[in-house]
Amino acid sequence: MLTKKQRDILMLIINHVEDTGIAPSFEELCHAAGLKSKSGIHRVMSALEERGYIARLHNRARAVDILRHPDGAPYTPLNLTDDVSNLPDVADISPTPKPSLQHPSSQHPPLQEMETDHSVIDIPLLGKIAAGTPIAAISDASNTIPVPEHMLGKGEYFALTIEGDSMIEAGIMDGDTVLIEKGDTAQNGDIVVAFLDEDDEATLKRLRRKSHSIALEPANSKYETRIFGPDQVKIQGTLKALIRQY
């Protein structure tokens, strides 16, 4: 899911590309979105790239490839026709993969099978990390995910689905489900769910405190670290484990 601002900017890009054949400049996006500063557009573009909706060549102007529509469906240019003759029949599609549990300690950590001889507890599954304030939704969460009780401590937990590749070097991949221990504090170096007041969104990043500022570090060298004032970031929980489909 995208925030309203991210969805609006993505639609401006899509409409401009389909009308003109080229991506809009930051100045054009600022004018179309009614913004005064290009820094806001830069943050939104970085978020869209991180979540896999666009791809950019950072040293070239207007070099933007649209990858997905705001609803997550793959984007197909209007002048491209698809050959559907070779698509697999529904009967040939593989069944839903079996889940496994692992700790996000490395890029390719060993998988640990979910054990069936332990008690399980249902953890609220609040959606994708890219959208909104997940903590506020806990009391209304209708989806849950079963987790072996021995994997968790005594705290309160919730789960979120990862969207994007900004943490792959920490072993956290697109589509993984992360288990978060709810809390508003974290240690320096922890991977946290942080809510950003200015952008009205939540993100999963490594927390670094530097003097009077907070740095949210991705674990992917193609993305940049973002720096915030201490009153701009609200910690909502700390990463404890993840579930991966394979």
- Work out the end-to-end distance of the chain between its first and last CA atoms, rounded to an integer number of angstroms: 23
Instruction: Report how far residue 9's alpha carbon sits from residue 41's, in angstroms, rounded to the nearest whole number.
Output: 8
What residues have CB less than 8 Å from 66, skipping those under 6 apart?
A: 10, 13, 14, 17, 53, 54, 75
205 an active-site residue?
Answer: yes
Distance CA 199, CA 158 (A): 22
The SS3 assignment for 15 reads: helix
Place of tokens 């399980």: 120
- Marked catalytic residue, from 36, 166, 182, 234: 166
- State how far the Cα of 205 lies from the Cα of 193, in Å rounded to an integer: 7
Distances (CA, A) of 161 to 32, 55, 116: 32, 21, 23
> Of the listed 205, 213, 234, 240, which one is catalytic?
205
Helix count (H) and strand count (E) of the chain? Answer: 3, 13
37 is known as an active-site residue: no
CA distances from residue 197 to 5, 73, 77, 227 in whole angstroms, order as listed: 13, 28, 34, 13
Active site residues per annotation: 166, 205
